[in-house]
Structure 1
């Protein structure tokens, strides 16, 4: 490869609702305390779907690589004043232009990937989210835990909760997702179809007590309403779904009467995200977290539009999309 070509990188620009183009540009340069990462891939996050649909507040075109934040790869270049990292280190990165062949991130936003994970995809941000949500849920052995929504995050939380000794009731609309939940350790699986039927079924499964912990991992109004109904008195309702499509009305009378502890499990402190990614690395190495089977579809970078559409449509057999340069 000649020097001119070697100095270039590729990045996806989202030009409008449902439309992309791939741009070639000079490689970004790392500043002090930063690293240039040659990306091996990025996960495709469901939080991208609202911007992808083109709401009024969305501005197009995006910055090159924009919306991508689940990247991993190899450090290619370091800026000044960097300690603890070397060129050639394989890392998970919390960066924000990861729909690209290269991205720059502060080294404080990097987590080294050990040799045990060599050649394995590692979208650090969602794996770290799962660990942080699991910590906030405070699940204990012997508890009954309902998880509403078995996408990538819900499947990981099912495995973590079951591994902690909880009895997991997994609730999802797709039979494929319920099969995944059973493989991840769910004791019971229920189709998410009718609100009142589900309440009665969980009531029956819990001898009328309902669940110690309920994790809502959908990000829609109805599953949030259902989650409150399934949480026992003095139980813990954990909001893990990403609610980005407007206000919510909740049944505060029910929340008050049952004395629910309501936890919004979304973190905003970068250091907490990074701690979660570190915990995820350890959990995967030790076999407590096994995400490999959940990466069901891999697309080249120039097919990001197809990956986003599939993430939106969630056909049978789909769980998580990755894009690779």
Structure 2
């Protein structure tokens, strides 16, 4: 099979490698596509603790495709089923996953991109946000994840305020149901605007989806007393500071919405299948860059630079 190999920081090469063998509880998937995740940027850019080349197909973990073969103990899927799956080597023509690390895709989603892992993340974050009808919800950072959370919050009956630095991101937020659009500028400016919009009550729920210090600062100011601040951003580039005095005074709940248990990932992915099939979320417009495997480096560059109009890159095979 052909697999992409990250041979050095910033450099992928397509190489011929052996098709992976499967264990009795595993499934061989002919990969149809795999998303590019911003969490993989450190490996792409290079850090002193990484070793290169990395394993073929790595760090692709947002794959979907067609079941090619199953192990002797597999009972839940059969050859020919369409699935989204969890793995770490999906930038390749074939990948292997455990029977308990996939969800079946219905006929209505076949032939369409379905990066199950990030869609499942959106569903899990929404569930842990505990958003109810009538809530005022601010989403800080309108990328792929933030746009989906706007749509989910709006569907739940909330008033949605989108906050983002890029105008085109705010345009997506409006398309996905946001009631108010606020540029992410100085913390005090955003806070004053939110105060005006809410009559000084601020926001019942604030979802931080940037992974940046400034968004935590803004979230701290605009969450209401007794509200909930949800950390959805990927904070992996250094330490963060929080205004604990204000958190204490406001009596807020703080939720780290990242999941690590495989069963939680699978729960979110199954919820995402239902949500996409029923039109509750409509991610198709967010797949702004459909690329071939030999364009993988270009996809990572765009994921890092985020040029105007970019939301998410998808590698299709």
TM-score (normalised: structure 1): 0.96
CA distance in 2, matches of 1:74, 1:182: 35
CA distance in 1, matches of 2:309, 2:28: 35
5+ residue gaps, structure 1: 1-8
Query: Offset of 1:116 from its aligned partner?
Result: 1.2
After TM superposition, the structure 1 = structure 2 runs for residues 1-325 of structure 1, keeping only pairs within 5 Å, are: 9-325=1-317
CA distance in 2, matches of 1:255, 1:17: 40
CA distance in 2, matches of 1:166, 1:118: 31
Residue deviations 1:55-92 (CA, integer Å, cap 9, x gap): 22222111111111000000001112110110000000
CA distance in 1, matches of 2:68, 2:100: 16
Query: Offset of 1:17 from its aligned partner?
Result: 1.6
CA distance in 2, matches of 1:55, 1:216: 26
CA distance in 2, matches of 1:279, 1:221: 30
SS of alignment partner, residue 17 of structure 2: strand
Displacement over 6 Å in runs of 4+: none
SS of alignment partner, residue 26 of structure 1: coil
TM-score (normalised: structure 2): 0.99
5+ residue gaps, structure 2: none
Residue deviations 1:183-219 (CA, integer Å, cap 9, x gap): 1000001111222111110111111111000000000
Aligned-residue RMSD, C-alpha:
0.8
Query: Offset of 1:49 from its aligned partner?
Result: 1.0
Query: Offset of 1:109 from its aligned partner?
Result: 0.4
Aligned length, in residue pairs: 317
